[in-house]
Amino acid sequence: MAVFHVEHNKGYTVMSNHHLHSKELTLKAKGLLSQMRSLPEDWDYTLAGLSLNRE
């Protein structure tokens, strides 16, 4: 599954509906993917780094 990085303005995230409509991904996986796509590219994509963004 390819992930496309596109230029976006501050304050919202652009992502394909393909992932959101996929029956192969759980709702949790879709939420996590959406959260990860909203973070900067240099974010710490570890469990510890992602847990910082929970609140």
pLDDT tens track for 5-34 = 766 567 778 788 998 999 999 999 999 999
E strand or H helix that includes residue 34:
helix 27-38
Model's pTM, two decimal places? 0.66
∠ CA 27-50-20, nearest 5°, is 25
Q: For residue 9, what pLDDT is reported?
A: 67
Give the pair of three-digit tokens for residue 20: 């959101």
